[in-house]
Structures are given as structure tokens and as C-alpha cells.
Amino acid sequence: MVRKAKSKKPVYDELLESEIDPEERQQMIAEAAYYRSEERGFRPGFEWDDWIAAESYVDAQLIKEAKEEAEA
């Protein structure tokens, strides 16, 4: 029997939506992407990579904080 993996998206979305304003999240991602770009000397051509990495980092931090608050 083959089982389909459960999607983590609903929990992920619920945590993010309940814990932070979308505009604040967007600003956090933009700031993190800026610092990633700064670390590599603002060389062009990596903007999308910076944004995706920053988005993953920020979301992971927000989920971690939400889980810690829920456990407290």
C-alpha cells in the first residue's frame, strides 16, 4: 500500500497567518534578502536566490517562535 505524504502546508499557513501580519513578514524577508546580498558584495544575478533563501529562513524562524509560544 502506498501512502501519500501529508502536506505540511496547512499547518505552516495557519501558524504564519495567526502569528504575523503579511506586510511585516514581507518586510522581514526583504531585510534578510538585503543582508544576504550585502554578504556577497551585492553582485547582481542572485536576487531571486537571496529572496528565496531569506523567505525560507524567516518562515522557519516564525514557525519556530509560534511553536515555542504554543508550548509555553
**What are the Cα distances from residue 49, in Å, to 27, 41, 54?**
17, 14, 8
DSSP state of 20: S
Residue range 25-53, pLDDT digits in tens: 999 999 999 999 999 999 999 999 999 99
- Tell me which H or E stretch contains 26: helix 22-39
Asked if pLDDT for residue 18 goes beyond 90, the answer is no
Residues 6+ apart with CB under 8 A from 21: none
> Over the range 28-52, which residues count as b (16 or more CB within 10 Å of their CB) and which as e?
bbeebbeebbeeeeeeeeeeeebbe
pLDDT at position 19, please? 67
pLDDT at position 64, please? 87
Asked if pLDDT for residue 14 goes beyond 80, the answer is no
In the structure, what pLDDT confidence band is assigned to residue 12 with cuts at 50, 70 and 90?
low
